[in-house]
Amino acid sequence: MLTFVCISLHILYIMMIRLQEIKGWLKKRNNLIVLSGIIIGTAGGFMYYYFIGCRTGSCPITSSPWLSMLWGATVGYLIFDMFRKKNTPIIKDEDNRA
C-alpha cells in the first residue's frame, strides 16, 4: 500500500511539472497564435463536413469528419503561421556593425 501511494505521488509530481512546462510554452505569443490557428481550423473543418460535406461517401476528404478536421487544422496552421513573428538573424559586416 505504501508503494502504491509513493508511486501515485511521484506520478502526480511529474504531471505538475509537465503542466508548468505546457503553461510556459503557451505563454509565448508565437505558440499561442499557431495553437489558435489549429483549433479554429479544426472547428472550420468540422463545420465544412457538417454543413457542406459529401452525403454519398464518395468524396475522400469530406466524407469523414476526422479527415475534414485534419485538413482544416492543417490549413488553419498554415494560415496562422503567416502571422507568426519570425526570428531573423542579424548579419554583421566586416567592422562588426549591425
**95 touches 79 (CB < 8 A):** no
Rg of the Cα atoms in the chain: 22
Residue 44 confidence (pLDDT): 94
Higher pLDDT, 72 or 15: 72
Residues 27-52 have a mean pLDDT of 86
Q: Where are the domains of the chain?
A: 28-85
pLDDT digits (tens, 9 = 90+) for 40-72: 999 999 999 888 888 777 887 778 888 899 999
Which helix (H) or strand (E) segment holds residue 10: the answer is helix 2-27
**pTM of this prediction?**
0.62
Tell whether the model's pLDDT for residue 96 goes beyond 80. no
The predicted structure's pLDDT at residue 74:
94
Q: How far is CA 64 from the centre of its chain?
A: 21
